[in-house]
Amino acid sequence: MSALPRIPDRPDYEVTPELVAEAARALAPYDLATPLVPSPALSARLGRPVFLKCENLQRTGSFKLRGALFRLLALEREERLRGVVASSAGNHGLGIAWACRQLGIPGLVVVPQETPRVKRAALEAMMIKVRVQGSGYDQAERYARALAADSAATFVSPFDDPRVIAGNGGSVGLELRAALPDLEAVVAPLGGGGLASGLAVALPGVAVIGAQSEASPAMARSLAEGVVHESYESASTIAEGLEGGVSRSTAALCRRLLRGVEVVSEASLRDAIRFLCREQRLVAEGSAAAAVAALLEGRAPAGRGPICALVTGRNIDRDRLREILEAEPAR
């Protein structure tokens, strides 16, 4: 087994405040802003104001639409004609599909076999080409990259791209800054690291914490060990959107920009889904509940000022949601 590469001192690209501002301007005509709501129950638990950024109410049910659209808007005419290929656990694919329809760009999305039925059905309803390949995200990405290279199409990563990062975390961060000027900390679900990195660029001086599942802690291990887990064999998880490895660049960005990474249990993810449904009347998928799970585990950063938890998606199968809600009361 070959040694894992060290996290580089510098990423292969930078995500600048200027790029984040450009993303906000480009996305403004599409009206993608989402609600920011208080959470009285979490505020009482933590003894400080807690807010939820409801990206689960986004047009495609996930924040991933932002970065996908900003990336596709940057394509040149010839690139648009050749089309795009993306790999996705579901939500990035839905963002790509929506953006392709808006811009008239042909697209293909590769998803792993474990992608929930609700996400596959939504992709099919958007009339984008879909291929199922591999048992997990990393295998789907390798296949998608090969397809893009063979067809001269543009591969669009769900996290390892400066425009995707600026569109996703960056545009969300600017909305938070405008709504909560005294915001002290943000907790966000963490997979490949793009969302959290973009938030940190948009919110200088605000503590940004990533939260990921114990089933696939690739970024947490990368930062702790100083190496890049570019692929990661996940255990069974309800947070399929956080599965897989990280990149050299996102590991370098997260090491520089994040205040920390919290690893939460699968049981806490289920508790968070129940909590959001019962206390906030919000539907969240497993990946989307990771930030709230961290707060329920008492993993909030120190301080007394306002804190925001991102609820990043709602695309959960009905049977899974019913099983989680019926299992036991929320803590």
Same domain for 106 and 193, yes or no, is no
Task: Answer with the one of 156, 187, 204 that is the final residue of a domain.
Answer: 156
The yes-or-no verdict on residue 202 having pLDDT over 90 is yes
The pLDDT of 177-206, averaged and rounded, is 98
User: For the ranges 28-37, 72-81, 125-134, 183-192, which has the lowest average pLDDT?
Assistant: 125-134
pTM (two decimals): 0.96
Determine, yes or no, domain membership for 1: no
- Tell me the Ramachandran region of residue 130: left when phi exceeds 0, alpha when psi lies from -120 to 50, beta otherwise: beta
Beta carbons of 22 and 165 less than 8 angstroms apart: no
Same domain for 112 and 250, yes or no, is no
| pLDDT score recorded for residue 77 | 97
| pLDDT score recorded for residue 329 | 59
The pLDDT of 150-158, averaged and rounded, is 97
The yes-or-no verdict on residue 204 having pLDDT over 70 is yes
User: Which residue range forms the structural domain that includes residue 72?
Assistant: 64-156
Name every residue whose Cβ is closer than 8 Å to that of residue 331 and which is 6 or more positions away in sequence.
Answer: 271, 275, 296
Residue 44 corresponds to which tokens in the numbers above? 């009482």
Determine, yes or no, domain membership for 8: no
**CATH number where 320 lies:** 3.40.50.1100
pLDDT digits 0-9 by tens, 269-281: 999 999 999 999 9
The yes-or-no verdict on residue 180 having pLDDT over 90 is yes
Percent of the chain with pLDDT over 70: 98
Determine, yes or no, domain membership for 7: no
Q: How far apart are CA 116 and CA 119, in angstroms?
A: 6
Q: Total structural domains in the chain? A: 2
Task: Answer with the one of 94, 123, 156 that is the final residue of a domain.
Answer: 156
Determine, yes or no, domain membership for 201: yes
Average pLDDT over all residues of the chain: 96
The yes-or-no verdict on residue 159 having pLDDT over 70 is yes
Same domain for 68 and 134, yes or no, is yes
Question: CA gyration radius for the chain?
Answer: 18
Task: Answer with the one of 124, 156, 188 that is the final residue of a domain.
Answer: 156
Sheet holding 107-111, edge to edge: 129-132, 107-111, 84-87, 154-156
Q: How far is CA 46 from the centre of its chain?
A: 25
Same domain for 202 and 311, yes or no, is yes
Percent of the chain with pLDDT over 90: 93
Determine, yes or no, domain membership for 3: no
Determine, yes or no, domain membership for 12: no
Determine, yes or no, domain membership for 127: yes
Q: How far is CA 224 from the centre of its chain?
A: 21
Determine, yes or no, domain membership for 11: no
